[in-house]
Structure 1
Amino acid sequence: MKNASIIGLNEADCQQIADKLNVLLANYSVFYQNTRGSHWNIKGDQFFTLHPKFEELYNSLVLKIDEIAERILTLGAIPAHNYSDYLKVSTIQESTDASDATVSVQNILNSFKVVIDLQRELLDMTEKAGDEGTNSQMSDYITEQEKEVWMYNSYLGK
Structure 2
Amino acid sequence: MTNINIGINEQDRLAIAKGLKHLLADSYTLYLQTHNFHWNVTGKQFRELHIMFEEQYNALALAVDDIAERIRTLGVAAPGTYKAFAELSAIEEVDGVPNADEMIDILTHGHEQVVRTARNVLKLAQQADDESSASLVSDRMREHEKTAWMLRALREV
Give the TM bin, normalised by the shorter chain. over 0.9
3-state secondary structure, aligned to 1:130: coil
Scaled by the length of structure 1, the TM-score of the pair is 0.94
Q: Specify the code of the residue in structure 2 equivalent to 1:149.
A: A
Relative to structure 2, which stretch is displaced further, 61-70 or 86-95?
86-95
Query: Where does residue 55 of structure 2 map in the other structure?
Result: 56
Separation in 2, partners of 1:54, 1:119: 21
Separation in 2, partners of 1:139, 1:2: 29
3-state secondary structure, aligned to 2:43: coil
Q: Give 1:77 deviation, angstroms.
A: 0.4
Counterparts of 1:33-72 in structure 2 under 5 Å? 33-72=32-71
Query: Where does residue 14 of structure 1 map in the other structure?
Result: 13
Separation in 1, partners of 2:140, 2:82: 23
Q: Give 1:98 deviation, angstroms.
A: 3.4
Indicate conservation of the 8 Å contact 2:29/2:91, yes or no.
yes
Query: Where does residue 132 of structure 1 map in the other structure?
Result: 131
Separation in 1, partners of 2:143, 2:38: 21
3-state secondary structure, aligned to 1:141: helix
Scaled by the length of structure 2, the TM-score of the pair is 0.94
Q: Give 1:91 deviation, angstroms.
A: 1.1
Deviations 1:6-37 (A, max 9, x none): x2111110011111111111111111111111
Indicate conservation of the 8 Å contact 1:72/1:79, yes or no.
yes
**Identical amino acids, percent of aligned pairs:** 37
Aligned residues: 157
3-state secondary structure, aligned to 1:153: helix
3-state secondary structure, aligned to 2:75: coil
Give every structure 1 segment of 4 or more consecutive aligned residues whose post-TM-superposition deviation is greater than 6 Å.
none
Query: Where does residue 97 of structure 2 map in the other structure?
Result: 98
Separation in 1, partners of 2:97, 2:69: 30
Indicate conservation of the 8 Å contact 2:112/2:144, yes or no.
no
